[in-house]
Structure 1
Amino acid sequence: MGRPTDPDSTPAPVGTTAEAGLIPDLMARIPWPRWALITVAAAAGVLVVSCLLCVLCCCCRRHRRKKPRDKVAVGLGSARSSTTTHLVQPEIRVGLKQAVDLRARGPGDTADPYASVSLSTQPRHRHETKAHRGTLNPVFDETCCFHVPPAELPQTTLQVRLLDSRCFSQHEPLGELSLPLGAIDLRHVLELWHQLGPPGTTEAEQTGELCFSLQYVPGSGRLTVVVLEARGLSSGLAEPYVKVQLMLNQRKWKRRKTSARKSTASPYFNEAFTFLVPFSQIQSVDLVLAVWARGLRLRAEPVGKLVLGARASGQPLQHWADMLAHARRPVTQWHRLRPPREVDRALALQPRLHLPLPGS
């Protein structure tokens, strides 16, 4: 007695199931060749492995960032210097904030004020702010530094002069301030208002003034300097003339000079010089004007110098900026000449060694 069997049925193989043919069935249904399916599977595997490696790298980097480094931030306010004042010269920083209620001394009810700061022990080292156009309440917000030996500090006086900038005439003084540094505690930062007094005699040694115009054409790169006149030169000088020099990247580049004028302390030149300066180099150029004359030694020596350019300050920097702002138009101004050594020091120039003349 046994169960009847269906002669048309086929017994299933031992150890297999119906799921064993799922992947081959899917591959058979996809209308792609076998090699393409294998390539897609390999690319997917590489992508998955790459993602896992990226995740592991990010985790490692975060772990490394959390480790402490051998650096310590130190606040300067809590540090104490072990250097004594006998070894270094203290630096005095003077910040000019603003001025209010100035009185215009020229025609009109306004002025173009700027400030000149110096020390009584260093009259030739001065800092000039830029001029502020058309105001009696200028806001300067400029800082200058002076190095003073400790022994000279009690006898040093800070001198601040306010002047009205004039293009075609002498700059008009507006007021001045003298502040003895020996009576101030310089260990603390002080911000004080001071009353300006009338203009006095604190002006440093004058070396004369020079009037010239600047014109720059960016398209052609033509820089034109017209030397007009000078005034206030010493009466003991003979045959004054003006040297115009261009410096590129603090190196001497081009030079011109006017003809000499005889027997006058206010020579009139009215000579023009043109230099080719590409626009890409105009910010790397220093323009130096120097008045030369023969003195008692019968030898031509510089009487006063002036430097203009991006590295200048005060009125010269303002004149240079006005030239660039008003391209193709000449801009004329009077400038006070500086002592030659002061300008050479600012330009990092070494003075020439003059050999003594026979019998001198």
Structure 2
Amino acid sequence: MVDAEFLGPWGRFVLIGAGAAAVLVFLLIIACFLTPGCIGYECVRKRRSICENVESQGRDSPNSINGTFESIETASTLPKDDPLKDFPTELTMSLQYLPASAENVTGKLVIGIEAVSNLPQKQYNCTLEPYVAVNIVKQSWSNRNPEKLHSFRTRGVRHTASPIYRETFVVADVKPQEVKEWAVDVTAYDHDRYANHTELCTLRVPLKEVKKLLTSPEIHLLNYKMKRSSKEFGNILLGISYLPTAQRLTINVARLANVKFAPTVPTLNDFNPYVRILMLNGKTGRKMKKKKTKFLRAAAQPEFNETLTFDLTFAQLETIQFLVAVWSKNIIAEENSSGQHSDSEESINSYKKSKDVCIGKVAIGKGARGATEKAHWFAVLQNPRKIVTVWHTLK
């Protein structure tokens, strides 16, 4: 009666409608939190994933430095490398076949490397020092394992991406029928004083496809487009963080995966990996500091979990770059059966002459060329006091 008098003759229906509307709204809110794709559901899912990541990082992360640092995993969120771009790299070479004659008792094949233009850039901010390797191979029906017959190499030309060589190489005692089975493999490398030489571009020229090579003794000047190299040597997991108050950058070398150490290292027993990190001047490319991890014996999937520290001001982060290289320690029999070092002069000299070999490298910093490498560096700058962990490809 009171409701009817207050709201009029329709008061009961108004109250029933209001109650039904409230129940409907409540059900819609619950459905929003339970239905994938809805705003409420996505908010709950993101908060839950963040909590799980923090708990897992704090429980078993190999990148934790101390309790004051927060650890974040960005391997799935950072952009991947862009597809390989078709660099307009061109090779100018000359070919000439001189058949047997009164002056030439046997035939000769003359290969000239004239010039290369528009080579790809270095991984880090430094000038190239390119050279060209020439291999003459005998093609098989499968082309999988061609037999290498002759090898040549040009000199290196510093500070240029378009070197001019004008060098010729001569293969003597060559019969015409042999030339038809041969191919010339041309590979452009960048000489790196700090790590392994980088393969830049490749090209294969089957000699049977060169017109008039065997019928005309003149010099044939040829232009070819080279293909950018996609050679990779495995992956490395790096966790990087910067502490502004202490002005300290830390790089945690966690582990390696899928390392392709052959043919640089013949067997797994000879593969003794360690990681060397060089701090380079971003403008000149000169080495400023060097640190390395311990080496592990015969480790196919090595785990280091070592943290290397570098003192840097915030202003230096704009120019400094780091070259992370994976090396294999060359260990020659240093100990005899009793566990003592051998005293023979031969073993001592061989130990001194032994050199470690570099497997692959990756550059980190603002001047790095790769998309993943740049994204990792900027994520570190945007998240001070946090460890940003990313998988990188060794090249």
Q: TM-score, normalised by structure 2?
A: 0.36
Structure with the larger RCO, 1 or 2 (CA within 8 Å, 6+ apart) = 2
The structure with more radius of gyration? 1
Q: TM-score, normalised by structure 1?
A: 0.40
